[in-house]
Amino acid sequence: MTMALALGAATAANAEEGKVLRVAMECGYAPYNWTQPDDSNGAVPIADSPDYAYGYDVMMAKHICEELGYDLEIVKLDWDSLVPAVQSGTVDCVIAGQSITSERLEMVDFSEPYYYASIITLVKADGDYADAKGVSDLSGATCTSQLNTVWYDVCLPQIPDANILPAQESAPAMLVALNNNACDLVVTDMPTGMAACVAYPDFKLLDFTGSDDDFEVSEEEINIGISMKKGNTELKEAIDSVLSKMTVDDYTAMMDEAISVQPLSE
């Protein structure tokens, strides 16, 4: 039996058994995932909650489950609870905009990337750093980002003489800090920045990609993957079999759709 036929047989068996894929995410990290009060645009119920989840991660989870014949259950957890939930087996996997870093790979296994997220900076359009052309132009800025992210741990220390505030517990909190003038800038990834500029029209997105004065990050730090318990090769192979059929253009189109329907863009 070929691998393709074997996978097909396994998929059919899983479908018959009504296998449920429990997927954790924050449900508060637009455009990757967010919470909304109804099932509009194809949103999925959040377990043990009257609310629904949608966004790029939910769209991807739905696609994976449709391809594999699984039922989908979305579990809402805080950012710092995601990895422990996978390790303990409370959930099957995390689809939540996680970078595939060496540190995380020591704790969990990852799928192939399901998105590639470049690093950008958000400032106020009328702020002191609105015309910055590179990282050096951000010198002396008061800044913050989300806790336990590449943005906070790797990027902010590269800003000369930066006044780095304590990390924010979530992406929305990070954006509120900028909106309330608690800081001059935040560093995040392109999808989060694009979505933020829709929600906060007075934000300006600075992209130094391709310049000689960009943030220095490794490929692993911008590759976004789906995490699962170490040694769960069956699930990893199944998810990778779906992702292998998708292209960067597919990811971009899905992300563009997520940004267009996020609640704050309407």
pTM of the model: 0.80
What domains are defined for the chain? 3-116+224-265 (3.40.190.10), 119-219 (3.40.190.10)
Q: Residue 264's pLDDT is what?
A: 66
Q: Which of 189, 135, 181, 180 is nearest to 162 (CA)?
A: 135
Q: What would the pLDDT profile of 51-66 be if each residue is shown by its tens digit? A: 999 999 999 999 999 9
Q: Which carries the bigger pLDDT value, residue 199 or residue 139?
A: 139
Show the tokens assigned to 9. 């047989």
Mean pLDDT, residues 33-37:
96
98-117 pLDDT tens trace: 989 888 999 999 999 999 88
Q: What percentage of the chain carries pLDDT values higher than 70?
A: 92
Given a cut of 80, whether residue 12 has pLDDT beyond it is: no
| Position 254 pLDDT exceeds 70 | yes
The stretch 116-134 carries a mean pLDDT of 96
CA distances to 5, 109, 161, 228 from 87, in Å: 30, 10, 38, 8
| pLDDT, mean of residues 10-34 | 78
Q: Is the pLDDT of residue 10 over 70?
A: no
Q: Say what the pLDDT of residue 6 is.
A: 39
- pLDDT-based confidence at 4, cuts 50/70/90? very low
> 231 is written with which tokens?
């040694």
Rounding to the nearest 10 degrees, give the CA dihedral for residues 35, 36, 38, 43: -50
Q: How deeply is 51 buried, as exposed, middle or buried, from its count of CB atoms within 10 A (0-12, 13-18, 19+)?
A: middle
| Whether pLDDT at 153 is above 50 | yes
Residue 263 pLDDT level (bands cut at 50, 70, 90): confident
The burial of 187, by beta-carbon neighbours within 10 Å (0-12 exposed, 13-18 middle, 19 or more buried), is given as buried
Chain centroid, CA 18 distance in Å:
28
Is residue 144 pLDDT above 80, yes or no?
Answer: yes
User: For the segment 211-236, what is each residue's pLDDT rounded down to a tens digit?
Assistant: 999 999 888 778 999 999 999 999 99
pLDDT attached to residue 105: 93
Whether 154 shows a pLDDT value over 50: the answer reads yes
pLDDT > 70? residue 129 = yes
Q: Which strands sit side by side in the sheet containing 142-144, from one edge to the other?
A: 163-164, 142-144, 185-189, 119-124, 203-206
Question: Which of 86-121 are b and which e, b meaning 16 or more Cβ less than 10 Å from the residue's Cβ?
Answer: beeeebbbbbbbbbbbeebeeebbbbbbbbebbbbb
